[in-house]
């Protein structure tokens, strides 16, 4: 156990976070998508601590966070398509998987792959932490493996308090689901739906994204991944006896992702609602149908995973 420091988003907070990160310690910080558990992506031991703290069962490649495009170009090779997407959507909730430049981030960060996932977050506190750290930061969501991603400081502390050196405060995450991941080593491919609607990426590229096929390296795909403790039943018109309804739109629901049927609001509230159901010890959760378009694709992806049969 370590005492987890709670750092302010301004004043000395980011500088203290930077110092801890350079020393190899773990620091959670807010991004516009979810809170990330940061480690210096150039130090294998620091990155190994991420797996230890999250009790993650296996090594997946991690997303490397940098403050701007210039820093991203130092760790990955950008072709015209990558430049176009970066110009359109960075900073923001888009991760690009690109050919890695040799020896810039540790092999463990990349899980030994020749490619690297890079993202420039828009959140001002994430930006301040990255600039103070002066290192690229590997940062998966700041939750124990297999649990719901954190969208506020209280979620981070509930899951990882005592296991990480510090958390930088930054209020509630506005996007609420992880970044959209697009693979650009080969034909542009949607590796994970997320906070940037895939349709916007396709409009920018002027052609549809391929979706993943069997065997693609997108380990966010472990079946049960974003799970609350309760069981979920999806596409439910109403709650059966013994169930609590997590609603969407104008339905009689115990908790509603968005009464007005707004997918952006629903994405932002998703993990918070699942945490709340956990806190109340709800065992059976029915979920209203969510349209499969825009952010609805990311929401349904997370819900389907949360509903998948549990791994031991
Ligand atoms: O919104 C987000 O992206 C959050 C916040 C904290 O920024 N971060 C996040 O990071 O979700 P992480 O490290 O958990 O995302 C890892 C996922 C992997 O599961 C995999 O799908 C994909 O990124 N990934 C990383 N490197 C890859 C690579 N070289 N090839 C294919 N997929 C890769
Ligand atoms: Mg996660």
The answer to whether residue 176 scores a pLDDT higher than 80 is: yes
Work out the average pLDDT over 121-134.
Answer: 98
Q: What is the mean pLDDT of residues 109-135?
A: 95
pLDDT on residue 308: 82
Give the model's pLDDT for residue 83. Answer: 98
Per-residue pLDDT at 212: 65
Give the model's pLDDT for residue 312: 42
- pLDDT at res. 193: 95
The predicted model gives 52-72 an average pLDDT of 90
Write the pLDDT tens digit of every residue in 238-255: 999 999 999 999 999 989
Contacts for 76 with CB less than 8 Å, ≥ 6 apart = 82, 96, 98, 99, 100, 101, 116, 118
Exposure string over 119-143, b if 16+ CB within 10 A, otherwise e:
bbbbbebbbbbbebbebbbbbbbbb
More confident residue, 214 or 167: 167
Nearest 5°: the CA angle 172, 244, 272 is 10
Residue 170 has pLDDT above 60, yes or no: yes
Distance of CA 28 from the midpoint of ligand 1 (Å)? 16
Q: Any residues with CB less than 8 A from the CB of 164 and at least 6 apart, and which?
A: 2, 4, 25, 26, 27, 28, 37, 53, 142
Which pLDDT value is given to residue 271? 83
Q: In the chain, what percentage of residues exceed pLDDT 90?
A: 73
The number of the ligand 1 atom at minimal distance from the alpha carbon of 217 is: 31
Residue among 225, 223, 66 at smallest CA distance from 143: 225
> Ligand 1 pocket test: which of 34, 60, 168 has the largest number of ligand atoms within 8 Å of its C-beta?
60
| Residue 247: φ, ψ to 5° | -90, 170
Nearest atom, ligand 1, residue 183 CA: 31
In this prediction, residue 84 carries a pLDDT of 98
CA distance 211 to 193: 10
**Would you tell me how many other CB atoms lie within 10 Å of the CB of residue 60?**
17
Residue 214 pLDDT grade (very low, low, confident, very high; cuts 50, 70, 90): very low
Mean pLDDT of 286-304: 92
Q: How far is it, in rounded angstroms, from Cα 218 to Cα 141?
A: 15
Pick from 34, 44, 35, 47: nearest CA to 7:
35
pLDDT tier for residue 150 given thresholds of 50, 70 and 90: very high
pLDDT in tens, 70-116: 999 999 999 999 999 999 999 999 999 999 998 789 888 988 788 99
Query: Where does ligand 1 bind, in terms of residues with CB under 6 Å?
Result: 31, 33-34, 36, 60-63, 95, 97, 110, 113, 115-117, 119, 121, 139-141, 178-179, 181, 183, 191-192, 217-220
pLDDT band with cut points at 50, 70 and 90 for residue 310? low
Question: Residue ranges of the alpha helices (H) in the chain?
Answer: 13-22, 44-54, 69-75, 80-89, 124-133, 153-160, 198-205, 263-279, 295-307
Mean local confidence (pLDDT), 164-189: 96
């Amino acid at each position: 156990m370590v005492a987890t420091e709670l750092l302010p988003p301004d004043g000395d907070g980011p500088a203290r976070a930077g110092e801890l990160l350079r020393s190899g310690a773990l620091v959670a910080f807010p991004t516009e998508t979810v809170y990330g558990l940061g480690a210096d992506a150039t130090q294998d031991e620091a990155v190994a601590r991420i797996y230890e703290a999250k009790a993650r069962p296996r090594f997946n490649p991690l997303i490397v966070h940098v403050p701007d495009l210039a820093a991203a170009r130092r760790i990955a090779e950008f072709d015209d398509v990558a430049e176009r997407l970066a110009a359109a959507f960075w900073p923001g909730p888009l991760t690009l998987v690109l050919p890695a430049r040799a020896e810039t981030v540790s092999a463990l960060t990349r899980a030994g792959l020749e490619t690297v996932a890079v993202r420039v977050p828009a959140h001002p506190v994430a930006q301040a932490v990255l600039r103070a750290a002066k290192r690229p930061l590997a940062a998966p969501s700041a939750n124990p493996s297999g649990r719901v991603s954190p969208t506020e400081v209280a979620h981070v502390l509930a899951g990882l308090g005592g296991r990480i050196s510090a958390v930088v405060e930054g209020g509630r995450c506005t996007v609420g689901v992880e970044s959209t991941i697009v693979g650009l080593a080969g034909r542009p491919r949607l590796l994970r739906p997320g906070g940037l609607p895939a349709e916007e990426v396709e409009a920018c590229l002027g052609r549809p994204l391929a979706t993943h096929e069997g065997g693609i390296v997108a380990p966010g795909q472990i079946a049960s991944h974003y799970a609350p403790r309760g069981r979920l039943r999806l596409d439910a018109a109403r709650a059966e006896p013994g169930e609590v309804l997590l609603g969407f739109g104008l339905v009689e629901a115990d908790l509603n992702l968005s009464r007005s049927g707004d997918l952006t609001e629903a994405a932002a509230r998703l993990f918070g609602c699942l945490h709340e159901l956990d806190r109340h010890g709800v065992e059976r959760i029915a979920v209203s149908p969510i349209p499969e378009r825009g952010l609805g694709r990311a929401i349904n992806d997370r819900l389907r995973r949360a509903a998948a049969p549990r791994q031991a």
